[in-house]
Amino acid sequence: MPATGCMAPNDLAAVFDETPRMEFGASLVRTLIAGQFPQWADLPVVPVEPQGWCNRTFRLGETMSVRLPSAHRYVRQVEKEHRFLPALAPKLPLPVPAPLAIGKPAGDYPWPWSVYGWLDGESALIAKVDDKNRFAEDLAGFLYALQAIDATDGPPAGVHNFFRGGSLAVYDAQTRDAVAALHGEIDAEAALAVWEAALASTWTQTPVWVHGDVAAGNLLVRDGLLRAVIDFGSLGVGDPACDLAICWAFLDGRSRATFRAALPLDEATWARGRGWALWKALITIAGAADRQSPAAAEARSVLDTVIASHFGNS
């Protein structure tokens, strides 16, 4: 069942672990490949841009990619993806990463890592999306299909996916701290109204599969269309609200309405979705060394959109 937010202190410590991420490049990946998969040792290794936060990704030859956790807190995700993605993939309308091999810790790299099949496309962060309305339809169709798959044996929300699919109460203190830190810079009263509305309900239906990190950076675009969904490290089962944040973080007015219409979820679930978007926007702004940076400015825009949506019920 979804998490309730009542966790042991060590669980909270794992969720909010800020141990620095490991930095490394293609040379380390070449060494790992040569030592464990010599059949691929002659293939070029090239960093993928833009890089993700939880993992470093490299293209291996023309048909594969290598993905390595950047910190210990992401290591649990390796085995999980290899276990569940092959079972989910045939039931989804868009391609997802196909696990090919698991690498072992070796030399200067202390954790397990993965080799996947390569998926063509550019991140929606940088690619041109020809029609956001069509994009919203395709993404909603993917999430609808994901939520329809039997989740009986799936992993409940927990430390492995930072409680995506679980209760927003896990992030209550962090959210309120961010609002306090931004006093005078944002409409704190409005932000807290959105947050309180999100906390007012819980998912009471059967847990469903959640991707856990439906963000533009994890959606691949080719020829202007959504072509694949990647990075299932936050995969789990529980409340689908966590997968709705992109509605306000990336979509616009018309495409947002299309996305909402295509997913048969109640108003309370959309309110919790706004809560997930609000939390991410607030911690991004509050955590920015430069509050005028592009990332902070984008997060402010998302925050404004979420607040406007809450009061306009859209």
Is residue 300 in a domain? yes
CATH number at residue 74: 3.30.200.20
Q: Do both 176 and 292 map to the same domain?
A: yes
pLDDT of 313 higher than 70: no
Is residue 125 in a domain? no
Q: Do both 172 and 275 map to the same domain?
A: yes
In the structure, what pLDDT confidence band is assigned to residue 13 with cuts at 50, 70 and 90?
A: low
Report, as an integer, the average pLDDT of 178-204: 97
Final residue in a domain of this structure, among 119, 151, 167: 119
Q: Do both 145 and 257 map to the same domain?
A: yes
Final residue in a domain of this structure, among 59, 93, 119: 119
Is residue 227 in a domain? yes
**pLDDT tens for residues 69-112?**
999 999 999 999 999 999 999 999 999 999 999 999 999 999 99
Q: Do both 85 and 216 map to the same domain?
A: no
Tell me, what's the pLDDT at 14? Answer: 58
CATH number at residue 187: 3.90.1200.10
Q: What percent of the chain has pLDDT over 90?
A: 88
Average pLDDT, the chain: 93
Report, as an integer, the average pLDDT of 152-158: 96
Q: Do both 154 and 303 map to the same domain?
A: yes
Q: Do both 21 and 141 map to the same domain?
A: no
Final residue in a domain of this structure, among 68, 84, 119: 119
Q: Report the number of distinct structural domains present in the chain.
A: 2
Which residue range is the domain that position 76 belongs to?
Answer: 9-119
In the structure, what pLDDT confidence band is assigned to residue 198 with cuts at 50, 70 and 90?
A: very high
Q: Do both 217 and 191 map to the same domain?
A: yes
Lowest-confidence pick of 50-59, 113-122, 216-225: 50-59
CA distance 262 to 264: 6
pLDDT of 4 higher than 50: no
Tell me, what's the pLDDT at 10? Answer: 46
Is residue 216 in a domain? yes
Report, as an integer, the average pLDDT of 173-202: 97
- Which residue type is seen at 56? R
Report, as an integer, the average pLDDT of 41-68: 93
